[in-house]
Every structure is written in C-alpha cells, then in structure tokens.
Structure 1
C-alpha cells in the first residue's frame, strides 16, 4: 500500500515537472486575476536548476491580498502540494532577493 502511494506521488510530481510552464501559467493567471499588480517569482532549487523529483516548487507571490484568499484560489485551480506557495507583502521582497535567486514568472 505504501509503495503504491509513493509511486503515485512520484508519477504526479513527474507530470508537474514535465508541464511546469503550464502550471506556472495557471498560478500567474489566478494571482493576476486577484491582483493585477502582484509579482510572482520562482525560487529555490527549481529556480537554481538543482532540483530532484522529490523537490517542492517554491513560488513567491508578492501582493497585498490576504494570503488565505490567494492560496484557496490556487488550490481550487489545481495547484497542489507539489508547490510551496509563499504569499508575502511587498515589503518582504528585498529579504527574498537577498537570500534567493528569484525568477520572475
């Protein structure tokens, strides 16, 4: 049973990584529909091209919209647990820039 769950998870992650551009486009569409001024960045191991299949995909959303609203809309749009979505206010962007490579989506 546990082996089957691991295999299903690996297949799902493989599908997400294979179609990453599609998923990032969905994230951008959903976030921009909530806040046209929002900024969206890829960061972490995927942005640095050092990820493996078990890596999560870190996405930074800079917005003044309530994080719960953003996360709920993304979840409903099919953005699942393969993604680690960080919803932060604009004043947090310099901190992320100092500590991470950011790739604007």
Structure 2
C-alpha cells in the first residue's frame, strides 16, 4: 500500500514539474487578481536549475497584502505541495536577494525557462 502512495506522489510531482510554466501562470494570475502591483519570483533549487523530483518549488510573493489572504487564494486554486509560498513585503526582498538567485516568474513562465529535471 505505501509503495502505491509513493508512486502516485512521484507521478503527481513529475506532472507538476513537467507543466511548471502552466502552474506559474496560475499563481501569477491568482496573485495579480488580488494585487496588480505584486511581484513574483522563483528562488531556491528550481531558480538555480538544481532541483530534483523531491524538491519543493519556492515562490516569493512580494505584496503588502496579508499572507493569509494570498495563501488562501492560492490554496483554493489547488496550489499546494510541492509549492512553498513565501509572502513578504517589498522591504524584505533584499534579504532574499542576498540568500541566492531570484527569477521573476513573469519571464520564467513566458519562456518556460525553469531548468531541467535532475
């Protein structure tokens, strides 16, 4: 039974990574409906092109909206694991920039430039 669950989870994650640009567009559309001035970035292993099937997909949402409002809207659209959504204010962006690479989602999703599966 547990092996079946693991296989199903691996297939689900593979589908998400294969169709990542589509999921990024859903995330962008959902957030922009709440805050047209919001900025969205990929960071972590996906942004660096070093992700594995077991990796999470780190998304940075820069907005003045309460995190609960943004997360609730995304969850209602099915955006859950493996997505790790970080909702921050503009003042916090530099903290994330210092940690590593940030890739604007608008550019990444338009080109499908999200790195290769490893």
Question: After TM superposition, is the score higher than 0.5?
Answer: yes
> Residue 43 of structure 1 corresponds to which residue in structure 2?
43
> Residue 80 of structure 2 corresponds to which residue in structure 1?
80
TM-fit CA distance, 1:2:
1.1
TM-fit CA distance, 1:80:
1.5
Number of aligned positions between the proteins: 105
Distance between the aligned counterparts of 1:100 and 1:77, measured in 2? Answer: 28
Distance between the aligned counterparts of 2:97 and 2:27, measured in 1? Answer: 20
> Residue 56 of structure 1 corresponds to which residue in structure 2?
56
Matches within 5 A, 1:1-105: 1-105=1-105
Distance between the aligned counterparts of 1:43 and 1:33, measured in 2? Answer: 22
Distance between the aligned counterparts of 1:19 and 1:65, measured in 2? Answer: 28
